[in-house]
């Protein structure tokens, strides 16, 4: 009965995720054992590690990224995720070095520093431009979290941008800590970068710490979905899905008597819209 209930919960969660327009367009688990490529497990929007960026153990789920500002660490994704029109969402986990001595840190960005354009998720270490120790989401306007994020622990930071509604910033699940009607996105030519921001024509490393489980969506996530990803950082499938790269296309069903059945999926688990029994 317990297994049956668990399976029903998974199906209900997947059905709930299919009930609205937000779908993942890229998911990065950063679970690689090594190398210089950060693999997208949904599409083929892979990133390239630069500077001292490297895969490291003890992420919030599996491995993660480690980078330093002094070492120029960042991940470069090229001309992707412009989000010039419509709603979008970005969910990422971050853990900073302690004490964090670098002034002000970009977690992810598609932004050219110095003028109003693009978007970024930011950590404040000074009261300059925002509030010390808080996270913020910038997209023409800035909204700032109420809880601290630079304490050396893992934190989920989630931004939901609504082109014709209220945008939101979440830290560590629901409810949202900040919300506002944000002005329209201003297009730019900057690359999408993890752990840095673009100055002039080139991105520079900005973050000293760890980053894990980055997800980008083409629509607006609900508060319940942000909360579900806070509980299951590697995705809706949670404990029933192996998060190792290359192992995300097999679904293992466990029956009440202990027998298991493995089903090979034709696409990554993150792209499942619904499951139907016949």
d(CA 193, CA 149): 20
For Ca ion, the closer CB: 29 or 124: 29
Q: Which of 77, 73, 99, 63 is nearest to 245 (CA)?
A: 63
- Please report, as ranges, the residues that interact with Ca ion according to CB under 5 A: 29-31, 59, 61-62, 212
CB of 273 to Ca ion, least distance (A): 24
CB of 8 to Ca ion, least distance (A): 27
For Ca ion, the closer CB: 31 or 133: 31
For Ca ion, the closer CB: 62 or 235: 62
Q: Is 33 exposed, middle or buried (0-12, 13-18, 19+ CB in 10 A)?
A: exposed
CB of 158 to Ca ion, least distance (A): 16
- Count of residues in the chain: 278
Structure tokens at 272: 């499942």
CB of 53 to Ca ion, least distance (A): 14
d(CA 200, CA 104): 18
Structure tokens at 99: 């004490």
For Ca ion, the closer CB: 144 or 229: 229
DSSP code of residue 270: G
For Ca ion, the closer CB: 55 or 217: 55
CB of 55 to Ca ion, least distance (A): 9
Beta bridge partners of 196: 205
């Amino acid at each position: 009965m317990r297994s049956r209930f668990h399976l029903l919960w998974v199906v209900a969660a997947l059905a709930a995720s299919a009930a609205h327009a937000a779908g993942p367009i890229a998911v990065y688990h950063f679970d690689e054992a090594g190398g210089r490529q950060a693999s997208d497990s949904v599409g083929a929007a892979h990133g390239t590690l630069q500077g001292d960026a490297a895969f490291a153990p003890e992420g919030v789920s599996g491995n993660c990224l480690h980078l330093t500002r002094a070492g120029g660490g960042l991940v470069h994704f090229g001309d992707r995720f412009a989000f010039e029109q419509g709603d979008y969402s970005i969910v990422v986990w971050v853990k900073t070095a302690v004490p964090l001595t670098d002034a002000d840190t970009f977690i992810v960005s598609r932004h050219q520093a110095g003028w109003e354009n693009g978007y970024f998720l930011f950590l404040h270490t000074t009261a300059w431009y925002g509030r010390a120790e808080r996270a913020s989401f910038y997209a023409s306007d800035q909204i700032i979290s109420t809880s601290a994020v630079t304490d050396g622990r893992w934190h989920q930071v989630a931004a939901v941008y609504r082109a014709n509604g209220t945008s939101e910033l979440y830290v560590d699940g629901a409810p949202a800590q900040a919300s506002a009607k944000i002005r329209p996105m201003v297009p730019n030519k900057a690359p999408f970068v993890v752990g840095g921001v673009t100055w002039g024509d080139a991105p520079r490393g900005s973050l000293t710490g760890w980053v894990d489980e980055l997800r980008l969506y083409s629509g607006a996530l609900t508060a319940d979905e942000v909360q579900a990803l806070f509980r299951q950082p590697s995705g809706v499938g949670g404990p029933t899905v192996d998060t190792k790269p290359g192992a995300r296309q097999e679904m293992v069903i466990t029956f009440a008597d202990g027998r298991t059945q493995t089903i090979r999926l034709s696409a990554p688990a993150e792209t499942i819209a619904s499951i139907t029994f016949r």
